[in-house]
Chain A
Amino acid sequence: DTGVSQDPRHKITKRGQNVTFRCDPISEHNRLYWYRQTLGQGPEFLTYFQNEAQLEKSRLLSDRFSAERPKGSFSTLEIQRTEQGDSAMYLCASSFGGGYTFGSGTRLTVV
């Protein structure tokens, strides 16, 4: 287990298309988080899971965003009908309480 893996690393999509990202956390970690980071800003909380339960979703997140963690292992983040404002780095992190271990992120560009 080499850490938190995210796929793909980069995604370019046309406005209005749907995209899905995958995150594989560290296997012993029961908590999984999704954050969004834009240039010059800190990571912004989107949602998090404890095992398969989604415990919180940011009020800033529109209904176009959905996340799942069906078996308490990997997670997917889907964005429907993408908009240019969705362009950002999407970071996944996992933990077993305490500090996060981040993945390398998926950079989304909406054109």
Chain B
Amino acid sequence: GENVEQHPSTLSVQEGDSAVIKCTYSDSASNYFPWYKQELGKRPQLIIDIRSNVGEKKDQRIAVTLNKTAKHFSLHITETQPEDSAVYFCAASEGYNTDKLIFGTGTRLQVFP
């Protein structure tokens, strides 16, 4: 089955700097890759996603890149703000079944003012 690895587990940046979180997946048939943000005590919320027919997608300060050959995808946050502090989870669909997602172990991002 699908296995998703996420790095780093913690990341601290200064406000205004960029943050990058990386994930790798094992199933070459995976075709859907969402990212979720989970603030303390709250539900995970979808912030951006990408499908395998696209190499990059951007939404304001957030971007996701996908390298299908290497089976890895990354989340890029530019001009970080303290409110970006949260745990971020990557996920990959299990094969062609976009219904079922396998999640990474999460990255705790801290943005210091």
Q: How many residues of B contact A (CB 8 A)?
A: 22
Who on chain B is nearest to A55 by CB? Answer: B99
Say if the beta carbon of A101 comes within 8 Å of chain B: yes
Partner of A100, one of B4, B101, B105: B101
A44's nearest neighbour on chain B, judged by CB, is B103
Chain A interface residue count, Cβ-Cβ cutoff 8 angstroms: 24
The reply to whether B99 and A43 form a contact with Cβ atoms under 8 Å apart is no
Q: In the bound complex, do residue A40 and residue B99 qualify as a contact, i.e. CB atoms below 8 Å apart?
A: no
What 1/0 mask marks residues of chain B from 2 to 23 whose CB sits below 8 Å from any chain A CB?
0010100000000000000000
CB-CB nearest in chain A for B49: A99
Name A35-60 residues within 8 Å CB distance of B.
35, 40-45, 48, 50, 55-56
Interfacial residues, chain A to chain B (CB-CB below 8 A) = 31, 33, 35, 40-45, 48, 50, 55-56, 91, 95, 97-105
List B residues at the A interface (Cβ < 8 Å): 4, 6, 32, 34, 36, 42-46, 49, 89, 91, 98-106
- Please provide the 7 A-B residue pairs with the shortest distance between their CB atoms, ordered closest to farther: A42-B103, A99-B46, A102-B43, A43-B103, A104-B43, A102-B44, A42-B89
11 more contacts with CB within 8 A, not counting A31-B99, A45-B100, A97-B99, are A33-B100, A42-B6, A45-B102, A48-B99, A48-B100, A55-B99, A95-B99, A97-B98, A102-B36, A102-B45, A105-B43
